[in-house]
Chains A and B, each alone.
Chain A
């Protein structure tokens, strides 16, 4: 055992970058809602990018570590304490054996609602079909296929050599995603854009939508002006991607996320960019959403520049030496 969960938080699950390669078998990809924050956290620790971490929704998590390690909390600005002392997010902290790590519920979710608690060595749960990600609906992967509960004993993998030297390393502000949470959500026209009236398409791109309380890892239901179809919302079921914006008959968009079904039978007006889907995943009920049409090239450009940032951060970490005296 490496840490013992005392308070599980609202919804804490193990995620790596997802269970790819089995969608043709009807198997959901899962993976993190904000993959960028997970990858940054792993790189900061000298982990493999695909190492598993805990995805925490909203906070309220508390665990006692049995083994020394380094941790970093990335993603939303949920407040973390180690043995009761404030431990800033986006900074690597050394955790000694018997230390208590807590991630609290913040007074507001202005800075997002999903955090990644990454540990040196990664969370070690059995690999199921190539991934450690939890798919709770299918009871597959992660910690026994479910969210953590109090009393769970979670293993940590063997850390990289020299794992201690990252302690104190901080991710520069400019590398962190979601700095500007009011920015519009980038979207590209979807495969069934022709199923909507011109007015419907205009409504989607010009009006402001609101995040409802029907949000989870499967999808975000939005409320706002009705988007008009030409004739009907049903299609022959076809493929779905992360960020697909389905518009069923009632005309309100649903953005499909990490635990999305692999196929679906509703018209898809648009697809949110991979980058923006991670920003949307940090939004909570009541938040405003505006969609901004971008080209596929523009959207891909964000991913390429993130990749470059990640490489730069990795170089910075490699030359960083902790000031802590061991």
Chain B
């Protein structure tokens, strides 16, 4: 992580604040803090702040806000000390039916890692995954924290259609497909949750950058019943905030 974040111009309407040249959770937590601080300021002329692994892109309208003024506001926000008192983790529990028709590549992952299905599920659900950013398709989350023993290369031949909710592994990454899309990840399960909902104006995606994801293994029956509730709009995803005991976080 850089000692002082770098301010990089990105055209006439965007300022990039880069925190690191590597994927580091501390740098990402810092930029999520800056993102929320700027969002809270509701700066006239700022269109939106977009977090990625290690930088925050601030999109603005130069007719309403000059680069100099924006840089000043950003520098001031960066100087403010981050709230202390232990990190708070915003956790989302994602129920997943592993294997079978929902996880057609379980055998591949098993062959590559040498673990049986039960061990793969045990390891995949044993950790919380940090969502660094969303991208690729609406709601697709880039999660960090996969048990390296589960790492499996992508399919040699990508599928042309992967159903929304499919949970997969690609190299050292894991994640869930938010909408039906092509892709080459090794699919090990599926969540009945709706990851992208264009009708939800406020939170069109279930996961936001900075969230922690906890996978929970569910049965086929549970998959069906949660799926029915999701379709009826009555399912409330399990979310909670817990203390991590690490360094500062702004998710209070």
Contacts and interface: CB of A to CB of B under 8 A. Distances in A.
Interface string A276-315: 0000000000000000000011011001100100000000
Contacts of A300: 12, 62-63, 66-67
Contacts of B199: 128
Interface stretch (B53-61, B216-224, B233-241): B53-61
A282 B205 CA distance: 34
Contacts of B63: 300, 303-304, 307
A99 interface: no
Given A236-B23, A238-B52, A304-B63, A22 B204 contact: yes
Given A26-B134, A262-B135, A274 B13 contact: yes
Nearest to B205: A25
Contacts, number: 140
B135 A237 contact: yes
Contacts of A20: 47-48, 59
Interface in B3-51: 8-14, 16, 18, 21-23, 35, 47-51
A17 to B, nearest CB: 11
A243 B48 contact: no
Contacts of A23: 48, 50, 57, 59
A238 B67 CA distance: 20
Given A26-B137, A26-B138, A191-B16, A274 B204 contact: no
B67 A26 contact: no
A238 B134 contact: no
B10 A239 contact: yes
Give the bracket for the number of chain B residues in contact with chain A: 35 or more
B18 A191 contact: yes
A258 interface: no
Given A191-B16, A263-B52, A24 B9 contact: no
B14 A271 contact: yes
Nearest to A187: B11
A273 interface: yes
Residue among B138, B179, B209 with max Cβ neighbours from chain A (10 Å): B138
Interface in A233-264: 236-239, 241-244, 261-263
Given A21-B47, A24-B209, A239-B57, A138 B9 contact: no
B2 interface: no
B2 to A, nearest CB: 14
A27 B201 CA distance: 12
Interface string B137-174: 11110100000000000000000000000000000000
A141 B67 CA distance: 32
B125 interface: no
Nearest to B210: A24
A129 B200 CA distance: 7
A80 interface: no
A109 to B, nearest CB: 26
A232 interface: no
Residue among B14, B51, B199 with max Cβ neighbours from chain A (10 Å): B14
B172 to A, nearest CB: 13
Contacts of B12: 188, 271, 273-274, 296, 299-300, 303
Contact of A303 (B57, B62, B133, B134): B62
B210 to A, nearest CB: 10
A7 interface: no
A21 B202 CA distance: 10
Contact of A296 (B9, B55, B56, B208): B9
Contacts of B54: 236, 238
A215 interface: no
Contacts of A26: 134-140, 178, 205
A122 to B, nearest CB: 20
A316 to B, nearest CB: 20
Contact of A241 (B14, B198, B209): B14
Given A26-B178, A238-B18, A303-B63, 11 more contacts: A23-B59, A26-B136, A26-B137, A27-B138, A128-B198, A129-B204, A140-B138, A191-B9, A191-B16, A268-B10, A304-B63
Interface of B: 8-14, 16, 18, 21-23, 35, 47-57, 59, 62-63, 66-67, 133-140, 142, 178-179, 198-199, 201, 204-205, 208-209
Interface of A: 20-28, 128-130, 138, 140, 188-191, 236-239, 241-244, 261-263, 268, 271-274, 296-297, 299-300, 303-304, 307
